[in-house]
Every structure is written in C-alpha cells, then in structure tokens.
Amino acid sequence: MSSRLRAAIVALCGLAAFALAWPIATSAGAENDTDAREAARLVRDARDATDDHDFTGIAIVTWATPSGKQRAEVHVADGDGAVTVTGADGAVVDDGHRTYLHDDLGWTGLSVEPTVRQLPAPDARWSLGVAGTRVVAGRPSTVVEAVRTDGTPAQRLMVDDATGLVLAREVLGPDGRVERSLRFTSIDVDERAPRSVTPPDDVHTPTAAKLTSVPDGYRAPTSAAGFELVTRSRHPDGVLLFYSDGVFTASVFERQGELAWDALSSGGTDADLADTRTRTYHEASSDVAVWEHGGLVYTCVTDAPSDVFAAMVRAVASDERSAPEAVVDFVLGPFGWG
C-alpha cells in the first residue's frame, strides 16, 4: 500500500471514530458562552453519531507538502460495527477495537493500544465557537472552530445538521491556509452497505502493554508545548507515548540506538529544531518528524497544524524537564516495564 493511501485511509478511520479525536468536557467558562456551549454540544453529539447512523460515501483528502498540494479519493462505509475505507490500491477496516490494513501483500493487523479513558478538555487550550453554516455533500452543516489565542482558527469541523455526523474537517496554519482537509463529496446516510473487504480470522492484532512509567534510558515528558501525556505503552522495539491537547493528538515513538538517515524514506524535509537535525514528512492525516537525541531515535506523528507541530517537536527534542519529572524518571526508571 502506498504511503499516500495509507495516510488517507487512516485519517478517514479517525474521522469515523470521532470520539477519540475530540472528546468534549466543557469548563465553567465555556458554559457561560452561548457559542462555546453550542459548539460543545455539536461535537459531543458527533461522538455518538457514527454509532447511530450507518452510511456510505466518497471523500476527498487533501494535504499541503513542499512540492505542492496532494489529493486522494477514497470510499467510506460505516456499518455492522465497522468502518471500511478503500482506495485504488488498498483498504483499512476498523471495528472500533482493532485496525487492519490490506494491500497487494495481504492483510496486516495493527497493534491495539491501551484504552484512552480521559483526554484534556478541548477548551483548556483552545476556544471553541460556532462559525456559520456550510453545505457539504448537499447537506446543510454547522461549522465548529477551534481558535488560537491570537484569534486565528486552527481547526474547522462541518457537522451535519440532520444527523450530527462530521462531514468535513480542515486543519489551518497560522497564516489561515488550509494545511490538511477531509471532505465528503457524496454520502448516503442510514444506508447499510455490505463490507467489501473482511479481515480473515487468522490475522493477528498484537496488544501493546500499558506502562505506568517508562524504563531507564527512555523519556516521557508529562507535558510538551500544551500537549499532555495520556498513555504509555511498550512495544518490542521501544516505547510509544500518546499525547493530546484536547483538540489535536500526537504519538511519539522512542527506540534506543542510532538513526540511519540514509535509510529513511525520500520526500522529507530537513530542518534544525531545538538544535537537533530533524526530518519532516507531510502526509494526508498527519505530519511526521524523525530525529535522534541522547541515544534515542524519535518518531513524532501528529494531526496538528504546522506551528503547533513545530512547538511540540521542539519541546520533545529538548532536554528541558522539570525537577519533579527528573526525580520520577530516576526513581521509577528501573521498574518502568511494569
């Protein structure tokens, strides 16, 4: 499966499983504002909309890269408890608990990560509001924005007025340009579609072990540029850290060793962040940064806008830690695999 299609279909699976992408827990301040309260209600309802409605549709994913705007078209079907997303050269099936990829080499089951029970409230960092209406795939929808402190929007969601389904998503840079988008061009709601592809029973989906702390030699900052650490998990070749700021998410994979720069995929852009050489890739669902520091190789994947992404990478790449974090790492390090 091409990296372009893989990124696009994973993005769409994330849209269908919207409860993980943007949970709602409004604060007292938001409750005093009519727009923020309505925005919170719309997103809260969107969390359950995919459980309440089956649908099939065609969606377009676009994303900006240094070489220009990229585009992919995929077919989405939500029914029988699973989301199936297919493209020209592969498919993804997500049943809410496990995710499977299918390409010309066959089926692959992705690791099942620990359950995320609570994420930061979206209004802890971002202001939520209603920003008018739009028609998406012929259906009236309400626009919900997450706004930076300077008043510029970081994300827009178009929520279907009739069903509460999210019909489109835009991630915007600080200059107002759309850096990544997903939009249905057609959708048939409450129309059950048979699964076009079904994973065989013998495909294994390994379960990653949840960690209460990380072992000696790894780092797990409890916060980084507005992102809060939500879960840690153990993998055969390293540690995966999952962060959220309430609106966007970031996964940081750490493995011990040296980075083989020549073995990395082509198409990336090199830059120095926090005095560290970093290679960045722009994909449909996320940006990916790879770097090496202090005996660890890092891979950071996030759906955040470019400015938020850069700040996150700088924070993780630096050695700055609070005194309590350093003490916790020192004390718990030898027991971190538990």
Q: Domain containing 237 — which CATH number?
A: 3.30.200.100
Residues 238 and 179 in one domain: no
pTM of the entire structure?
0.82
Q: Residue 320: what pLDDT?
A: 52
Q: Span 240-244, mean pLDDT?
A: 92
Query: Which of 185-199, 224-238, 324-338 has the weakest average pLDDT?
Result: 324-338
| Within a domain: 88 | yes
Residues 178 and 266 in one domain: no
| Within a domain: 202 | no
Spatial neighbors of 262 by CB under 8 A, at least 6 apart, are none
| Within a domain: 29 | yes
Q: Residue 115: what pLDDT?
A: 79
Give the angle 190-20-76 at the CA atoms, nearest 5°: 35
- Rounded Cα distance between 283 and 301, Å, is 10
Residues 90 and 130 in one domain: yes
Q: Span 193-207, mean pLDDT?
A: 75
pLDDT above 50 (res 164) = yes
Residues 36 and 158 in one domain: yes
Among candidate residues 159, 189, 219, the one where a domain is terminated: 189
Residue 280 is part of which domain span? Answer: 209-335
Residues 38 and 167 in one domain: yes
User: With contact defined as beta carbons under 8 Å apart, do 5 and 278 qualify?
Assistant: no
Residues 246 and 181 in one domain: no
Phi, psi of 287 (to 5 degrees): -105, 145
Q: Residue 29: what pLDDT?
A: 43
Count of domains in the chain? 2
Q: Residue 325: what pLDDT?
A: 44
